[in-house]
Structure 1
Amino acid sequence: MTPTRRLIARLTSARWLSPLVFLAAWEAGSRLGLIPERTLAAPSKVVATLWGMAISGELAANLWVSFLRIALGLVIGVTIGVVLALVAGLSRQGEVAVDPLMQIKRTIPTLALTPLFIVWFGIGETPKVALIAFASIFPVYLNLYSGIRGVDLRLLEGARSFGLSRAELVFHVILPGALPSLLVGLRYSLSVAILVLVVAEQINASAGLGYLINNARDFMRTDIIVVCLMIYAGLGLTADALVRAVEGRALAWRPSIVTQ
């Protein structure tokens, strides 16, 4: 294969090629008037708006508010999920007491609870954080519970043969064996939490990305809406990358991690 053909093959197989083509078509459609600005702002307009909001500090201030909401909700939800998974996974009595309730919780759409949470907690910060926490419980619970119950019995038998106590068995065998499942659950919880954040910030927000979107909707500023959607996507990608980094370090003993 000639160098020219090799270069063309690399360009056509690049993963970033199709997004660039999409952006170019979007920009061209906007400049030709095929896509009205009130319907969807051009990429160049979105970038200019992003720069202006970043320079003015408006974006950073509202992003910080959204970050605090999702961080607090995740800490509460993940903590509850881990505790319930340990209770249900480490004892039959705990499984009987906890798992049926969690399965009922799984069948209830989180967003359907929004009106009820508003009645209970008002329209301040509490219902927003509560929705995020409620949504992030089950992914962690289910994956950690399955991971605990899926620990290899031969490992348990080998540990018992060395005289490990019940507590030592849990901390040195069961929990390390279930750690990969916990990290998978954490990644799911992060994704779900960001999705719920989008809706939660529509509840009478006075700051945050949802507040910016509401204001932009009223003034038909599609460029600001797209900027906020990009930030939401960036939050999700960043959170997933952080968990992957933790996974790479915590699970370095796994062959699948070592060979990557």
Structure 2
Amino acid sequence: MTTLLERPTAASAGPVVDKRVVRRRLGPGKRIPFSLAIGPLLLVGLWCLLSATGRLDPRTLSEPWVVVETARDLIENGRLQDALQTSAVRAFAGLGLGTAIGTLLALVSGLSRVGEAVIDGPIQVKRAIPTLALLPLLVLWLGITEEMKIVTIALAVMLPVYIHTHNGLRTIDGRYAELAETVDIGRPQFIRDIVLPGAMPGFLLGMRFAVTTALLSLVVVEQINATSGIGYMIHLASSYGQTEIIVVGLVVYALLGLAADGLVRTIERKALAWRRTLG
């Protein structure tokens, strides 16, 4: 009879597996490395193939090498940098203003029954009205100015920030409030130590939607009697059938969106690192 202190022999232990040579398998929730780049690269490859074989009419969509050459020319003469700077200022100004307003309204509505009664109703009405439908009024009130463009972007951004931050406040476990009352924590400390960390996941989720919304609004406002920006460059190119410039502008919009979303995701990983340490 064997005892618990006896070690199993090689024959009884079965085959020995060297853990160093075991390949890492993709389990549930694991992504393929560089998975986000696979789809765009395949599309670019298909674009190159169709253009090289003549299946794609250059008047419909310019060849990739023509687009690259056009981008280089735009960079050399400074036109692309100027347009990018103008668009980036508009986008981030509207994003910052809309984020501040949406967060403030969410805090007032989420922390007070009176605030919710006053604020949440109008916000839901605004939710039912697309921001771009307000453009005629905004043009009438503010004129075709930079302020109008920034306010339009801010109104579009405010909505996802408010909704997700407000939802984050409402889903905070009520036991934390009971604990705060038990240990006699003051309201300022309760907001700082419990409410704001609890609402942070919702706020950051809203920011990811807000970034996309800001770019969508930017595309529209830059084509309304604008004289600068990426949208104006695209609008002008469409009048002359310059598809290569249009594609360059679309790529710049895409890079702006990816950069902004990547920044929010980086902040999310750092700000919510405490969630991975729980449990």
Q: Same fold (TM over 0.5)?
A: yes
Partner of 2:52: 31
Higher normalized helix content (fraction of residues): 1
Amino acid at match of 1:136: V
- What is the 5 A alignment of 1:191-206? 191-206=212-227
Q: Which string of whole-angstrom CA distances, capped at 9 and with x for unpartnered residues, describes residues 115-159 of structure 1?
A: 221111111212211110110011011111111111111122222
User: Which residue, 144, 147, 150 being the options, matches 1:126?
Assistant: 147
Task: Report 1:146-157 matches (<5 A).
Answer: 146-157=167-178
CA-CA distance at 1:231 after TM superposition: 0.6
CA distances 1:85-122 after superposition (whole Å, capped 9, x unpaired) = 01100000000000000000000011111122111111
Match of 1:3 in 2: none
Q: Which residue matches 1:79?
A: 100
2:247 pairs with 1:226? yes
Task: Give 5+ residue unaligned stretches, structure 2.
Answer: 1-22, 24-31
Per-residue CA deviations over 1:222-254 (Å, capped at 9, x if unaligned) read 011011001111111100100111111111111
Find 1:166's aligned residue among 187, 204, 216.
Answer: 187
* 1:102/1:14 CA distance change after superposition, 3 Å: closer
Q: Name which of structure 1's ranges 156-165 and 57-66 shifts more when overlaid on structure 2.
A: 156-165
- SS state at 2:96 partner: helix
SS in 2 for 1:133: helix
| Residue identity matched to 1:180 | P
For the structure 1 residues 166 and 22, does the alpha-carbon distance in structure 2 shift closer, same or farther, using more than 3 Å as the test? closer
Secondary structure of the residue aligned to 2:273 is coil
**Match for residue 65 of structure 1?**
86
* d(CA) in 1 for partners of 2:142, 2:133: 15
Mapped to 2, the partners of 1:98 and 1:17 lie a distance apart of: 44
The 1-side partners of 2:85 and 2:136 are apart by 26
* Corresponding residue number in structure 2 for 1:93: 114
Give the one of 47, 55, 72 matched to 1:51.
Answer: 72
Q: What's the counterpart of residue 236 of structure 2? A: 215
Bigger drift between 153-162 and 172-181 goes to: 153-162
Cα distance in 2 for residues equivalent to 1:14 and 1:129: 35
Give the SS at the match of 1:131: helix
Matches within 5 A, 1:100-119: 100-119=121-140
C-alpha deviation, 1:66, in angstroms: 0.4
Structure 1 residues 28 and 186: CA distance shift in structure 2, 3 A? same
Provide Cα deviations, 1:10-56, integer angstroms capped at 9, x if missing partner.
xx997445543432332232233322222111111111211221222
Cα distance in 1 for partners of 2:163, 2:108 equals 12
Q: Say which one has the larger Rg.
A: 2
Q: Distance in 2 between matches of 1:139 and 1:54?
A: 35
Quick one: which of 40, 44, 48 aligns to 2:61?
40
**How high is the sequence identity, in percent, across the aligned residues?**
44
Contact kept? 1:148, 1:174, Cα under 8 Å: yes
Report how far residue 207 of structure 1 moved: 0.7
Secondary structure of 2:62's aligned partner = coil
Answer yes or no: is the 8 Å Cα contact 1:128–1:203 preserved in 2.
Answer: no
- 1:133-144 aligned at under 5 Å gives the runs 133-144=154-165
Please give the TM-score of this superposition, normalised by the length of structure 2. Answer: 0.84
Query: SS of 1:94's equivalent?
Result: helix
Report the equivalent of 2:201: 180
184 and 18 in structure 1: CA distance in 2 versus 1, 3 angstrom threshold: closer
When the two structures are aligned, how many residues end up with a matched partner?
248
